[in-house]
Amino acid sequence: MKLRALGLAVTATAAFVSSGGATEAHAAKQKTVKLKPYTLSASALRELKTDFIAQIRAKHPEGTWAPMKMELSDRHLKLMGLPPREVLVRQRFRRPTLVGRDGSRRAVAGPTLATYAGAGWFGIRPGALLLSITPESIGWCTMAHVYGSPGSYSISTAGHCGNVGDRATVVAALGNRAEPVLLDFGAYKRSTGDGGIGNDWALISVNAAYQSLVTPTMAAWGGPRGVFTKTGAVAGYSFRNGNLLAPQVQTNPDPLLAQQLVHYGHGTGVGFPVGSPRSATALHWGAKHFMFFGAISPGDSGSGSNTLGGDTIGATMEAAGINTHLYVSALMDKGLGIMAGQRVTSVGTPANGQIVPVPAPLPVVP
């Protein structure tokens, strides 16, 4: 299948919503809307990253853990090409809608490529960009694994990204005059809220109209195929007689615990335009949480991780969990860090994705 990500033309019914909310429909007049992948400039990403790290440090001192959800101010929304918070909270986007910064709207006919995971990756899937819009705040997160079966899919994310009843929105693409396409694709049906490491997950129900846009396959990496269930630390450290200069290292003899993890998220300043695939090294597997070291940044919150191998010889791309917390340290400025997340075993068994990923959902494959 050939996807024309740039210059894709779709038909749209023109509609304008004034600041007072009145709608003027121009159903008789059809216009062509050219869509292209949603991207941010390098300067905008740098500014967002700097602000988001400052947000974390303002609430969480060095040496503690911080949830990676980012709160978007009007200035941040402008950097992202989005209208102010007041406009986003007041309006609903029940179908893909071109949205101007002044609140003007134009509905895009049909779902088309209605959600955008990253450069060339489309669909409601592990790795898709997620906005949680409430009257109190607008948060930036990433989606994790898909649950259920075709026609009744849900998708997971971090619990601190939204509460039960909150609407879930995606930035689908950029349209004419670089206007973003927004879609309210579902709502949170379960959420622990910010319950801390090992108690931080949520499920978002996907509206029936957009079930066909769901694919369980993680952007760029593929999978998951099954669930990683082992527990234990990859290595432990102790200090004889309190001597910090002479650490004693105890390694776990189980080689399957030393997994390489793969994930796809929207951490600012880590990847190219928006969204990027990354890998990391597992450090610890608890009953409800896991930890790794690698490239991670604010905005990755709620993204899913898969193991490169599995908990048995020959297994591959097993679902590991949901990335939720970042250890506050100087490494954050470099886009690196120690991450803690929610084991997928606490949430349930996710739907299997393809080992070889495809750019967009297809009717004959998951």
Read off the CATH number of the domain in which 296 is found.
2.40.10.10
Provide the 8-state DSSP code for 59.
H
Bridge partners (DSSP) listed for residue 81 = none
Residues 272 and 199 in one domain: no
Residues 189 and 67 in one domain: yes
Residues 262 and 197 in one domain: no
Residues 197 and 237 in one domain: no
Buried b (16+ CB within 10 A) or exposed e, 284-295: bbeebbbbbbbb
Residues 76 and 153 in one domain: yes
Q: Does residue 218 sit within a domain? A: no
Q: Does residue 221 sit within a domain? A: no
Q: Does residue 365 sit within a domain? A: no
Residues 202 and 286 in one domain: no
Residues 153 and 264 in one domain: no
Residues 54, 58, 61, 65: is their CA dihedral positive or negative? negative
Q: Does residue 1 sit within a domain? A: no
From first to last of the 366 residues of the chain, give the pLDDT tens digit.
333 333 333 333 332 222 333 333 443 344 566 777 777 888 888 899 899 999 999 999 999 999 988 899 999 999 988 999 999 999 999 888 888 888 888 887 655 555 556 666 888 999 998 999 999 899 999 999 999 999 999 999 999 999 999 999 988 777 666 788 899 999 999 999 999 999 999 999 999 999 988 999 999 999 999 999 999 988 654 445 554 444 454 555 588 998 999 999 887 766 545 678 899 999 999 999 999 999 888 788 999 999 999 999 999 999 999 999 999 999 888 888 899 999 999 999 999 999 988 887 765 555
Which among 148, 180, 213 is the end of a domain?
Answer: 213
Bridge partners (DSSP) listed for residue 235 = 251
Bridge partners (DSSP) listed for residue 31 = 12
Residues 279 and 341 in one domain: yes
Q: Does residue 319 sit within a domain? A: yes
Residues 57 and 199 in one domain: yes
- The pLDDT tens digits of the residues spanning 232-280 come to 988 654 445 554 444 454 555 588 998 999 999 887 766 545 678 899 9
**Cα–Cα distance for residue pair 60/235, rounded to 1 Å:** 27
Percent above pLDDT 70 for the chain: 78
Note down the domain range covering 155: 8-213
Residues 195 and 236 in one domain: no
> Which tokens is 312 given?
């048995």
| Cα→Cα distances 17→20, 85, 215, Å | 8, 16, 32
Q: Distance from first CA to last CA of the chain, Å, rounded?
A: 15
Q: Does residue 181 sit within a domain? A: yes
Residues 100 and 239 in one domain: no
- The pLDDT tens digits of the residues spanning 205-232 come to 999 999 988 999 999 999 999 999 999 9
Q: Does residue 361 sit within a domain? A: no
Q: Can you point out the beta strands (E) in 100-164?
A: 105-108, 116-118, 121-122, 129-133, 138-142, 146-147, 154-157
Domain count, the chain: 2
Q: Does residue 355 sit within a domain? A: no
Of 275, 338, 5, 268, which Cα lies nearest the Cα of 143? 275
